[in-house]
Copies of this chain bind each other. A is one copy, B any other.
Amino acid sequence: MSFKLTILGSNSAVPLIDRNPTSQLLNVNERFFLIDCGENTQVQLRKYGLSFQRIHHIFISHLHGDHYFGLIGLITSMHLLGRKKELHIYAHEQLKEIINIQLSASNTDLSFPLFFHNLSTNSEAILFEDDLITISNFLLDHTLNCSGFIFKEKKYKRRLDRKKIEHFNIHYNFFTSLMKGRDYIKDDVMIKNSELTRDPEFFHSYAFCSDTSFSKEIISRVKNIDVLYHETTFAKDVLERARETGHSTTHQAGQIAKRAKVKLLITGHYSQRYTDLSILLEETKEVFQNSMLSYSGMTFDFNTLYK
């Protein structure tokens, strides 16, 4: 299955000419998940040939503008272009009001159903799950309520326990139902699903982690994740400013990646003060060698990225 991450923007608060604010698109087997939506995200999607009408789920980490100011424009364009399919937004509660007041000001009655799902400010949850993927949030340590997101691909649906299947002589017509987690019921026989199947295995996994101060809690949340996107807003010598503003340095992001034993660290959310980002990469690598910068337009193909 395909599992690709395209960076639409990886700059911090103030957008620059070639550095858009945060947004990225995750393609899991042609299902498209948008993570954050800074200003101009809709144009970035166009620029890289990514259809925004195929996005059905948008995850907004927090309500600093560089993570969501592009959302109202994206929604409006989806509407103007005649979208019919529903759109789900996972964000902190106030975003619904922010979007709705703007739709109301322009007398816009959307052409498609829009659903808001509130992120809790103090707990973590599975936000979305289907046959392919489980998406959950976890709490970050920022100056506003802020969530990271974890995307875990399922290699299969529930896995059949072949020995048990043979033992009970279950016909293959039941396999799909069992893989979806249903119990086996036929004639007078009823066997619990848990006796016949095992939990799904994860295939690729990805954690998005911006904006946040260094926090040990994050290490346990992203433990053994394949690919971690972690902000490196500042170089290592700007530790105090990072702490004050709820951000991380290169060394701190490297520490998280190292201690969580991830396979690859992608950095981002760069402060506008850095014209040349190579210093940030060098510093990150001092702690965690397998690190990469992210630029608008880069696509990371997980099938070839870290194996």
| A53, chain B: closest CB distance, angstroms | 12
A80: shortest Cβ distance to chain B, in Å? 5
Instruction: Provide the bound-state CA to CA distance between A14 and B81, in Å.
Output: 8
Count of this chain's copies in the oligomeric assembly: 2
Q: Report the bound CA distance from A266 to B133 in whole Å.
A: 52
A105 touching B98, Cβ below 8 Å: yes
Stretch from A70-78, A164-172, A236-244, A279-287 at the B interface:
A70-78
Rounded to whole Å, the gap between the CB of A74 and the closest CB of chain B is 9
- Using Cβ atoms and an 8 Å threshold, which residues of chain B touch A73? 15, 39, 65, 69
Interface residues of A in 3-36 (CB under 8 A from B): 13-17
A47 contacts B by Cβ under 8 Å: yes
Neighbouring B residues of A17 by C-beta, 8 Å:
43, 46-47
Contact mask for chain A residues 65-106; partner B; CB cutoff 8 A; 1 contact, 0 none: 110011011001100110000000000001101100110111
Residue A107 at the B interface, CB < 8 A?
Answer: yes
Given contacts A65-B102, A72-B65, A98-B101, contact A80 B14 (CB under 8 A): yes
Say yes or no: is A294 at the interface (Cβ < 8 Å to chain B).
no
Whether A101 and B94, one on each chain, are in contact in the complex, defined by CB atoms closer than 8 angstroms, is yes
Partner of A65 from the list B47, B76, B81, B101 (CB cut-off 8 Å) is B76
Nearest residue in B to A65 (C-beta to C-beta)?
B76
Interface residue A144 (Cβ < 8 Å from any Cβ of B):
yes
Q: Is B39 a contact of A15 with CB atoms below 8 Å?
A: no
User: Taking A39-B73, A65-B73 as contacts, is the C-beta distance between A107 and B47 under 8 angstroms?
Assistant: no
Residues in chain B near residue A42, CB distance under 8 A: 15, 39
A14 / chain B contacts, CB cutoff of 8 Å: 77, 80-81
Instruction: Give the residues in chain B near A105, CB-CB below 8 Å.
Output: 63, 94-95, 98
Chain A residues 47-75 with CB under 8 Å of chain B are 47, 63-66, 69-70, 72-73
A40 at the interface (CB under 8 A from B): yes
In the complex, which residues of chain B have a beta carbon less than 8 angstroms from the beta carbon of A94?
A: 101, 104-105
A102 to B70, CA, bound (A): 13
The reply to whether A13 and B80 contact each other, CB–CB distance below 8 Å, is yes
CB distance from A23 to the nearest CB of B (A): 13
A66 to B43, CA, bound (A): 13
A interface list, Cβ under 8 A from B: 13-17, 39-40, 42-43, 46-47, 63-66, 69-70, 72-73, 76-77, 80-81, 94-95, 97-98, 101-102, 104-107, 143-144
Known: A17-B43, A69-B72. 19 other contacts (CB 8 A): A14-B77, A14-B80, A15-B40, A15-B43, A15-B77, A17-B47, A39-B43, A39-B73, A40-B40, A40-B43, A65-B72, A65-B102, A69-B69, A69-B73, A94-B104, A98-B98, A98-B102, A101-B101, A107-B143
- Can you list 8 pairs linking A and B with CB atoms under 8 Å apart? A15-B43, A16-B43, A40-B40, A65-B73, A69-B72, A69-B102, A94-B104, A95-B105
